[in-house]
Amino acid sequence: MVKICCIGAGYVGGPTMAVIALKCPAIEVVVVDISFARINAWNSDQLPIYEPGLDDVVKQCRGRNLFFSTEVEKHVQEAEIIFVSVNTPTKTRGLGAGKAADLTYWESAARMIADVAKSDKIVVEKSTVPVKTAEAIEKILTHNSKGINYQILSNPEFLAEGTAIQDLFNPDRVLIGGRETPEGKKAVQALKKVYAQWVPEDRILTTNLWSAELSKLAANAFLAQRISSVNAISALCEATGANIAEVAYSVGKDSRIGPKFLNASVGFGGSCFQKDILNLVYICECNGLPEVANYWKQVIKINDYQKNRFVNRVVSSMFNTVSGKKIAVLGFAFKKDTGDTRETPAIDVCKGLLGDKAAISIYDPQVSEDQIQRDLAMNKFDWDHPIHLQPLSPTTVKQVAVTWDAYEATKGAHGVCILTEWDEFKELNYQKIYDNMQKPAFLFDGRNVVDPEKLRAIGFVVYAIGKPLDPWLKDLPAVA
Ligand SMILES: NC(=O)c1ccc[n+]([C@@H]2O[C@H](COP(=O)([O-])OP(=O)(O)OC[C@H]3O[C@@H](n4cnc5c(N)ncnc54)[C@H](O)[C@@H]3O)[C@@H](O)[C@H]2O)c1
Ligand SMILES: O=c1ccn([C@@H]2O[C@H](COP(=O)(O)OP(=O)(O)O[C@H]3O[C@H](CO)[C@@H](O)[C@H](O)[C@H]3O)[C@@H](O)[C@H]2O)c(=O)[nH]1
């Protein structure tokens, strides 16, 4: 039986390996991690991540050909193919701080492989890494090789959270980059054979190593760029009376542009877009391409602008102060159908409101109070380190309450901010919410989930990103 080991049992390692195990019953897959808590959770009924469809896949193969273990070295030693899916956060200190990828976890995984391996290995980069990382990994492995042959492949992951299982079952493409030597080509074929169990051959792309590594960064940059483009236009819509939903629909009807990823929002979040663009910017700078670096930097600047703009809309609408006012925040995750809060725009919006001394009451169907408190107390970029290595929150943020019900969160509030597009927020009884709020009652929709006209008919003052402004907001500055 072919044996695969995956180092890193996170949002990528867990679901990808579960799907490989499901689709390839003849392969034994072991996912290993240094975090006992994570592995215990993978072995329990309460998986460590919330992802629609994941429970079912794990239940079908766990204990059959899918295993989760903390015995990292043992399973690395036994495997022929080793996926490395560890964190690659943005560096917080030293050279490239705030931009470059921190490869500490990757390097330590590579050194461990070199230490324990006794047979030839195919080492697969699953984490998102800077271009040329494979060269560095190759050096670590071959300098410590004891005569063992290593082939490094780049096989970046394109799944999105919330739809991971769907994306893995039916990927737009699987990308495999390898060395163009006979051994490199053989390794590419070995990995291709795994995916070919369920992915049509014409969707398995093979390239050289550097193209595969760069394609991942480029794909995320292009996706994020679309969101910043539509968000930039949303500001102009508000200034002119155009409606972003109509503009995005009309623009996306052009088959050269397409309709996806054109939803205006309070800003993009998630552990990938900002981190990967910063990484791309750093690589451009290191390669003497400042113009290219500046071009991509703008995608992040517009995202920051959009989050600030939202906070300023809230504060300026509410008589220029939210001090001591209760603001309900509906949704804290970075998108619907996930409990993940890494880089969620909700963190920046809440911090902005707290800066103006608001009292915040938060409800999210999948995010715990502990997580929210930790996120609001944490420093930038700390959230993408392995959970057990993150600093514990020193104190709780006092002006923040977390509730398990949208009606409780909004009771007695002066304003409501919708920051995640959970489906249940479309179905809330807004009349009931309005009746229990202070007046005038404000609603700020950062995800365009409600119908502003219906809510205005109830009595709310409504701000919705990129939509024609409420008369209340018309003469107020967009950016205070
Ligand atoms: N989250 C996504 O949707 C997504 C999608 C595509 C690619 N990626 C990329 O995949 C990589 C992993 O992302 P993630 O979201 O799964 O991160 P994660 O934090 O959820 O998981 C990473 C895991 O690796 C473990 N780990 C770190 N160092 C280790 C070591 N030396 N040995 C064993 N385990 C170790 C950590 O304990 C953690 O559980 C990142 O490079 C990310 O950019 C993420
Ligand atoms: O039209 C849109 C689409 C998305 N978003 C926001 O953008 C962020 C990212 O969303 P999404 O891309 O769906 O989720 P991720 O899980 O971050 O997935 C991205 O990042 C992954 C990690 O690299 C890649 O694998 C995926 O292909 C890529 O879509 C979220 O805050 C969304 O709310 C918008 O504001 N408007």
173 has binding-site annotation: no
266 is in an annotated binding site: no
Domain containing 38 equals 2-199
**How confident is the model over 105-124, as a mean pLDDT?**
95
Concatenating the DSSP letter of every residue in 41-89 gives HHTSSS-SS--TTHHHHHHHHBTTTEEEES-HHHHHHH-SEEEE----P
- Identify whether residues 310 and 364 lie together within a single domain: yes
What DSSP string describes 98-131? Answer: TTSB--HHHHHHHHHHHHH--S-EEEEE-S---T
With a cut of 70, say whether residue 390 has pLDDT above it.
no
Q: Is 415 helix (H, G, I), strand (E, B) or coil?
A: strand
One domain, residues 365 and 251: yes
Question: Is the pLDDT score of 397 beyond 90?
Answer: no
Same domain, 187 and 232: no
CATH number at residue 369: 3.40.50.720
Do 193 and 256 share a structural domain? no
Contact 128, 219 (CB under 8 A): no
Residues whose CB is less than 8 angstroms from the CB of residue 36 and which lie 6 or more positions away in sequence, other chains included: 70
Ligand 1 mutation target, pool 31, 33, 72, most atoms within 8 A of CB: 33
pLDDT, tens digit (0-9, with 9 covering 90-100), for 415-428:
999 999 999 999 99
Helix (H, G, I), strand (E, B) or coil at 90: strand
**Residue-by-residue DSSP string for 234-284:** HHHHHHHT--HHHHHHHHHTSTTT-STT----S---SSSHHHHHHHHHHHH
Tell me the C-alpha to C-alpha distance, in Å, between residue 150 and each of 27, 145, 214, 477. Answer: 20, 8, 22, 60
Name 407's Cβ contacts closer than 8 Å, sequence gap at least 6.
Answer: 428, 429, 432, 433, 436
pLDDT bin (cut points 50, 70, 90) of residue 480 is: very low
CA dist 275 and 268 (Å) reads 12
CA of 440 to the centre of ligand 1 (A): 45
Across the strands, what pairs with 213? none
- Total length of the chain: 480
pLDDT confidence bin for 396, thresholds 50/70/90 = low
Hey, which residues are catalytic here? 272
Residues paired with residue 5 on neighbouring β-strands, in sequence order: 30, 82
* Residue 479: predicted pLDDT: 58
* 236 assigned to some structural domain: yes
B/e letters for 221-240, b = 16+ CB within 10 Å, e = fewer, are bebbbbbbbbbbbbbebbee
pLDDT in the model for residue 378? 82
Tell whether 145 is in a known binding site: no
Return the half-sphere exposure (C-beta side, CA atoms, 13 A cut-off) of residue 442: 23
Got the DSSP string for 6-46?
A: EE--STTHHHHHHHHHHH-TTEEEEEE-S-HHHHHHHTSSS
Residue 70 annotated as part of some ligand binding site: no
CA dist., res. 348 & res. 362, Å (int): 14
pLDDT at 13: 98
Ligand sitting nearest the alpha carbon of 226: 2
Pocket, ligand 1, Cβ cutoff 6 A: 7-13, 33-35, 38, 72, 85-88, 105, 108-109, 127-128, 157, 159, 161, 271-272, 386
What 3-state class would DSSP assign to 463?
A: strand
Is residue 267 within 8 A of residue 231, CB to CB? The reply is yes
How much is the average pLDDT of 445-455?
97
* 250 plus 168 within the same structural domain: no
Alpha carbons within 13 angstroms on the beta-carbon side of residue 329 total 32
Q: What is the rounded average pLDDT of the residues 167-194?
A: 97
- Give the whole-number percent of the chain exceeding pLDDT 70: 96
Q: For a substitution probing ligand 1, which of 38, 86, 158 has the most ligand atoms within 8 Å of its CB?
A: 86
Are 414 and 441 within 8 A, CB to CB? yes
Average the pLDDT over 18-45 and give the result: 97
pLDDT confidence of 395, banded at 50, 70, 90?
low
The tally of domains found in the chain comes to 2
Judgement on whether residues 149 and 274 belong to the same structural domain of the protein: no
- Residue 182, both tokens: 């006979």
pLDDT confidence tier of residue 474, bands split at 50, 70 and 90: confident
End-to-end CA distance of the chain: 64
Nearest-5° Cα angle at 428, 243 to 416: 65
Q: Cβ-count burial of 166 within 10 angstroms (0-12 exposed, 13-18 middle, 19+ buried)?
A: middle
The structure's pTM equals: 0.95
* Residue 170 sits in the same domain as residue 75: yes
Q: Which residues line ligand 2 (CB under 6 A)?
A: 128, 157-161, 220, 223, 227, 261-263, 265, 268-270, 272-273, 334-335
**What is the distance in A from the centroid of ligand 1 to the CA of 127?**
7
pLDDT of residue 28: 98
Question: Dihedrals φ, ψ of 100, to 5°?
Answer: -65, 155
Question: Which tens digits make up the pLDDT trace of 135-169?
Answer: 999 999 988 778 899 999 999 999 999 999 999 99
Say if residues 15 and 54 touch (Cβ distance below 8 Å): yes
pLDDT digits over 299-345, tens only?
999 999 999 999 999 999 999 999 999 999 999 999 999 999 999 99
The last residue of one of the domains, among 199, 232, 257, is 199
Classify residue 205: in a domain, yes or no.
Answer: no
Task: Give the pLDDT of residue 63.
Answer: 98
Q: Looking at the structure, tell me whether residues 120 and 243 fall in a common domain.
A: no
Cα distance between residue 363 and residue 340, in whole Å = 14
Q: What is the pLDDT of residues 243-300, one digit of tens each?
A: 999 999 999 999 999 999 999 999 999 999 999 999 999 999 999 999 999 999 999 9
The best mutation among 334, 447, 448 to test binding of ligand 2, ranked by most ligand atoms within 8 Å of the C-beta, falls on 334
* Amino acid at residue number 373: Q
Would residue 288 count as lying in a domain?
yes
- To the question of whether residue 268 is assigned a binding role by annotation, the answer is no
> Is the confidence at residue 51, as pLDDT, over 70?
yes
Q: What is the pLDDT of residue 1?
A: 79
Q: Are 122 and 160 in a shared domain?
A: yes
- Looking at the structure, tell me whether residues 89 and 157 fall in a common domain: yes
Q: CA 444 → CA 159, 224, 241, 308, distances in Å? A: 30, 23, 17, 13
Query: Looking at 168, 199, 230, which one is the last position of a domain?
Result: 199
Whether residue 214 lies inside any domain: the answer is no
Judge whether 209 lies within some domain: no
Q: Regarding predicted confidence, which is higher, 396 or 107?
A: 107
The whole-number average pLDDT for the span 182-209 is: 97
Same domain, 72 and 111: yes
- Nearest CA residue ID for atom 7, ligand 1: 157
Same domain, yes or no: 73 and 164: yes
Kindly identify the ligand whose nearest atom is closest to the C-alpha of 104: 1
| Residue 206 resides in a domain | no
Query: How far does Cα 385 stand from its chain's mean position?
Result: 13
Mean predicted lDDT score pLDDT of the chain: 94
Structure tokens, 57? 């896949």
In a domain, 207, yes or no: no
Residue whose CA lies nearest to ligand 2 atom number 27? 158
In a domain, 480, yes or no: no
